[in-house]
Amino acid sequence: AQTVTQSQPEMSVQEAETVTLSCTYDTSENNYYLFWYKQPPSRQMILVIRQEAYKQQNATENRFSVNFQKAAKSFSLKISDSQLGDTAMYFCAFMRNFGNEKLTFGTGTRLTIIP
């Protein structure tokens, strides 16, 4: 079974600064996908970024980028130029690459952007 660990329950950062959220995972699979989801106070789950394990290049979506270290089973999320709207819970998630599979989530990191 796969497990996802987010060791930072809470973080806070000043607006416009850069923050990195950590995620580690455990799997015996070689092909898989990793995701970061954002859950703002509205409770909506929003897909932030996606990484395929077979790609060495780190995924980037505007101010969001990841540092994917496959050997270390690490998948961190970097938010640059943080904005007040980035305040949310952030969940790291794992998916096996066997067609359409379930997501296995970490416990989340509550990020607060301070004005």
The footprint of other proteins (CB under 8 A) covers: 33, 35, 37, 42-47, 50, 91, 95, 97, 99-105, 107-108
* CB of 44 vs other proteins, minimal distance in Å: 5
* CB of 18 vs other proteins, minimal distance in Å: 25
CB count within 10 Å of CB 6 equals 19
Judged on CB neighbours under 10 Å (0-12, 13-18, 19+), 56 is: exposed
Residue 30 or residue 100: which is nearer to other proteins going by CB? 100
Residue 37 or residue 75: which is nearer to other proteins going by CB? 37
* CB of 112 vs other proteins, minimal distance in Å: 19
Beta strands in 53-100 (DSSP E): 60-61, 64-69, 74-79, 88-96
Across the strands, what pairs with 26?
3
